[in-house]
Amino acid sequence: MKLKSILIDDEVHNQENLKRLLELHCPEVLVLATASSADEGMALIAEHQPDLVFLDIEMPKKNGFSMLEALPVVNFEVIFVTAYNKYVLKAIRSCALDYLMKPVVISELQQAVQNVLTVVEQKKENHKLKALVDNLKNNQGPKKIALPTADELFFVNVDDIIRCKGENNYTMFYMSDKRSILVSRTLKEWDELLSAYGFIRTHQSHLINKNHVKSYVKRDGGYILMEDGSTVSVSKHKKEQTLRELSS
């Protein structure tokens, strides 16, 4: 898996150096963005929702610790990158958090990244288990399903799926929060899983959540208008069944 990451350091040359080291020696890290201040970093965290933040401690106006305190929730891992004194480092170490001293040593960088990778993968496994337990408790069917992409495993509420579109051996999920998630499984597999929970196969390439249907438009051969404004084709041999299921 790839660790989605953000680098926060007030010195641009430190950002560039760390980014270069990561590209050369830590292929499991994907750097999404860099920031030169705590406030800029907070905005990028909100935008990208990273798995990992490389965080400088000493920055003007607001240091790394103040930035973390200011965040409403910290749902990512942190590797501190610092030239701070030994007392602060002792405090970081006592909480089992990783830090790198400037200038960064490649072997220490690789080890810190591997530590984070282990933690993040364990979190995802825990999410899998929680989803299973929640679904077993729910007699009406799964509340959540796991969507495996090339780099991540997304856990989504079934009710938040608006529609699915088949693309050869892949399926694109369109979510109520405007996300699109491409999954490497066929639409047929998802049809078999979701048909019992209000999903209708309207076409060879389309599967819709009937709870997100706005209307059936009769003109132009007939098509479905979804709540998000998207339109979905209805094949001739699926038309009667689709209308029957929408009316039930």
User: pLDDT, tens digit, for every residue of 173-186?
Assistant: 999 999 999 998 89
Q: Look up the pTM and report it.
A: 0.59
Superfamily of domain 3-123: Response regulator (3.40.50.2300)
pLDDT at 229: 95
Q: Span 116-127, mean pLDDT?
A: 82
Tell me the pLDDT band of 123, cut-offs 50, 70 and 90: confident
Alpha-carbon torsion, ordered 145, 156, 29, 83, to 10 deg: -130
pLDDT, tens digit (0-9, with 9 covering 90-100), for 185-201: 899 989 988 887 889 99
Cβ density class 83-118: b for 16+ within 10 Å, e for less: ebeeeeeeebeeeeebbbebebeeeebbebbeebbe
Tell me the pLDDT band of 143, cut-offs 50, 70 and 90: confident
Q: Which residue has the higher pLDDT, 159 or 132?
A: 159
Alpha-carbon torsion, ordered 71, 75, 77, 79, to 10 deg: -10
Tell me the pLDDT band of 151, cut-offs 50, 70 and 90: confident
The mean predicted confidence, pLDDT, of the chain is 88
Nearest Cα to 163, choosing from 108, 229, 114, 243?
229
- What is the DSSP code (8-state) at residue 194? H
pLDDT at 122: 81
Does the bond joining 50 to the residue before it have cis omega, within 30 degrees of 0?
A: no
| Cα–Cα distance, 51 to 199 (Å, whole number) | 32
Q: Span 84-95, mean pLDDT?
A: 66
- What is the DSSP code (8-state) at residue 47? H
Q: Span 71-88, mean pLDDT?
A: 83
CATH number of 144-247: 2.40.50.1020
**Domain range summary for the chain, segments of one domain joined by +:** 3-123, 144-247
H-type alpha helices, 26-105: 38-48, 64-70, 86-94
